[in-house]
Amino acid sequence: MIQDLGFQSPVFLAPMAGITDKPMRRLVASLGGGNIVSEMVAINALQRKNPKSFRIADVRDEPYPVTVQMVGGDVELFIEAAEFLQELGAATLDINMGCPVKKIVNNHSGSDLMRNPELASRIISTVKKSSPLKLSVKFRKGWDNNHVNAVEFAQMCEESGADFITVHGRTRSDFYSGTADWDIIAAVKAAVKIPVIGNGDINSPQSAKKMLEYTHADGVMVGRAALGAPWLISQIHNYLTAKEEPQPVSITDTKNILLRHIKELISYYGEKLALPLSRKYVCWYCKNLRDARKFREHYVRIDNFAAAFQAIEDYFNACEMLKGEDK
């Protein structure tokens, strides 16, 4: 069981580069439930003392346990990175062996490690020996449909010392398209003794339960469905652990959570960076509301936060007022 490793919940927020940053993590954690995972940290950039990577990796001021994800392909650098990340507050370490992005794969890291299980094994066993932290590995179904090796890869992770694994039911060549294959997650679960977290296409508490029942996985990891819906993690947690039915989130609550998200962005990045960053969040939070496209087109042209906050108030309040007319 994943709880035997000290995790409070069977639900994990997925690592998402540029998204599960400190503002998002703080917000998701404040809404309760779920385990928090960082965006990936490039270990070669950490070694160069790149200030941006250092900042991404520093979770010391977060009052909840954070799993920090490392990406890289050099065994020696992993040893240094694991030590450094522990100093920077990581509660658990994860190794990214699933990222499909060309720049990462060309660097012999991410999902390229699924084509090089010997190197992957050396990385896992070396990190495990050198760090007292719990270690997980996140990977995919395989490289492509002709090279599906998640089961053997999972067994290799277990033998090399990983404490648990997360399987995304797509191949590298799928990127994010098509439907995630939950059968491969079930096959992995049946093949190893360490806890398995299933990942891919969970978009509601009900679908999380369905995945657990279908695959017998020990937990679920949720990515894209939490964009513009950070409350989803706690809803899934409450549904799975306390059978609490999810309640619809009102338009006013959505607005207030978006405003909190933007304030977190400002306090972390400063106004100048936070304004362009806020645009994608505004798009996600209003995706199911009326005239969302028109509002987005208006919001992206706004150049100061006073106007941005006013526009959000006006738009969401109008949606709330007009809600009755939609029925």
Ligand X SMILES: Cc1cc2nc3c(=O)[nH]c(=O)nc-3n(C[C@H](O)[C@H](O)[C@H](O)COP(=O)(O)O)c2cc1C
> What are the residues binding ligand X (CB under 6 A)?
14-17, 19, 39-40, 69, 96, 98-99, 138, 168, 176, 199-202, 222-225
One of 99, 157, 286, 319 is an active-site residue; which one? 99
Residue 210, token pair as written in the block: 């369905």
Residue 36 beta carbon to ligand X: minimum distance, rounded to whole angstroms: 13
The DSSP letter of residue 148 is B
| Residue placing its CB nearer to ligand X in the complex, 91 or 251 | 91
Residue 51, token pair as written in the block: 């200030």
Q: Which residue, judged by CB position, is nearest to ligand X in the bound state? A: 223
Residue 21 beta carbon to ligand X: minimum distance, rounded to whole angstroms: 11
The DSSP letter of residue 109 is -
Sign of CA dihedral 97, 16, 136, 191: negative
| Residue placing its CB nearer to ligand X in the complex, 136 or 315 | 136
- Is 283 tagged catalytic? no
| Residue placing its CB nearer to ligand X in the complex, 176 or 214 | 176
| Residue placing its CB nearer to ligand X in the complex, 37 or 251 | 37
| Residue placing its CB nearer to ligand X in the complex, 180 or 192 | 180
Residue 142 beta carbon to ligand X: minimum distance, rounded to whole angstroms: 14
Residues 6+ positions from 76 with CB-CB distance below 8 Å: none
Q: What share of the chain is helix, strand, coil (3-state, %, to 5)?
A: 55, 15, 30
Q: What is the rounded distance in angstroms from the CA atom of residue 29 to the CA atom of residue 24?
A: 8
Q: What DSSP string describes 190-252?
A: HH-SS-EEEES---SHHHHHHHHHHH--SEEEE-GGGTT-TTHHHHHHHHHHH-PPPPPPPHH
- Whether 13 contacts 7, CB under 8 Å: no
Three-state SS for 305? helix
Sign of CA dihedral 190, 191, 194, 195: negative
Residue 180 beta carbon to ligand X: minimum distance, rounded to whole angstroms: 6
| Residue placing its CB nearer to ligand X in the complex, 225 or 311 | 225
Residue 170 beta carbon to ligand X: minimum distance, rounded to whole angstroms: 7
- Whether 82 contacts 93, CB under 8 Å: yes
Residue 114 beta carbon to ligand X: minimum distance, rounded to whole angstroms: 13
Positions annotated as catalytic residues are 99
